[in-house]
């Protein structure tokens, strides 16, 4: 299930977390990869680890900004030149936000929206024409449960991820005639670099048992558990899925936890 044999895949945010896990899993399942991330050293570590574990894996790393249209165009071109036109694009790069509604400045909002929302837009605009000319493909975006309802992230982060969900829906409808599917993944609490400080602080304070307390499974996910969904959506096994926001959150969004917070 979820074979990616013969797929030519681009993954952004591949230096750590979900992106690194996805790169590893995609390679295991047969994809040829072009990886990108702003963190050049982390990106090279991802590439080297895959090649060591999967002899013969075809992995190219190209460091840069996933929200920069010129860089993403170079990544798409690199994939086309090395392997052929990309037929999978996992637009995963993102940044977090932890401050309150009246604490996040307009500059912070612009920074978060640029990476989290404009990055996926740039991915779609860059790769869709190439995919369409080659017969189609699958675009997967990383959204979040924070984009579905309040309580899972800051206002700016949540708004950016709600935009990703909407982008997946609108792009899916506009690209269906080109045989391009677009879906979003909505992870819940994940053990990644983005959440490390928060989770480590909880453990250091003796509150490790509270991690995932609003989650019926009462734990955070491992990045590979999200990567598995990305691999499924990238594969032909999900051929009748498009325009969906697929939740992978251990059941958190099936409940209605709420905590009052002082805003003003």
Q: Supply the residues annotated as catalytic.
A: 157
Count of CB atoms within 10 A of residue 49's CB? 15
As given in the structure block, the two tokens for residue 149 are 């309802």
Q: Are 13 and 39 in contact (CB under 8 A)?
A: no
* Residue 120: φ, ψ to 5°: -60, -35
Q: Are 172 and 215 in contact (CB under 8 A)?
A: no
Which distant-in-sequence residues (6+ apart) come within 8 Å of 35 by Cβ?
10, 11, 14, 19, 23, 43, 46, 47, 59, 60, 61, 62
Q: Are 223 and 192 in contact (CB under 8 A)?
A: yes
Which whole-number Å values give the CA distances from 56 to 24, 71, 180, in the listed order? 13, 27, 29
């Amino acid at each position: 299930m979820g074979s990616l044999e013969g797929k030519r895949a681009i993954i952004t945010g591949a230096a750590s977390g979900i992106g690194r896990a996805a790169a590893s899993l995609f390679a295991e399942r047969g994809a040829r990869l072009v990886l990108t991330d702003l963190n050049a050293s982390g990106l090279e570590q991802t590439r080297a680890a895959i090649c060591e574990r999967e002899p013969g894996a075809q992995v190219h790393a190209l460091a840069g900004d996933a929200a920069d249209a010129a860089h993403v165009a170079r990544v798409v071109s690199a994939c086309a030149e090395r392997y052929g036109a990309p037929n999978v694009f996992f637009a995963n790069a993102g940044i977090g936000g932890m401050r309150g509604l009246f604490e996040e400045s307009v500059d912070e909002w612009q920074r978060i929206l640029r990476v989290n929302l404009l990055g996926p837009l740039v991915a779609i605009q860059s790769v869709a024409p190439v995919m369409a000319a080659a017969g189609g493909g699958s675009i997967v975006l990383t959204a979040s449960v924070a984009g579905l309802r309040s309580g899972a992230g800051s206002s700016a982060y949540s708004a950016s991820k709600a935009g990703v969900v909407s982008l997946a829906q609108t792009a899916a409808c506009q690209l269906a005639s080109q045989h391009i599917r677009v879906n979003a993944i909505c992870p819940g609490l994940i053990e990644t670099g983005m959440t490390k400080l928060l989770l480590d602080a909880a453990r250091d304070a003796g509150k490790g048992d509270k991690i995932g307390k609003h989650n019926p499974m009462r734990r955070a996910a491992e990045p590979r558990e999200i990567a598995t969904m990305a691999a499924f959506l990238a594969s032909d096994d999900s051929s009748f899925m498009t325009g969906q926001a697929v939740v992978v959150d251990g059941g958190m969004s099936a409940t209605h936890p709420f905590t009052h917070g002082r805003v003003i």
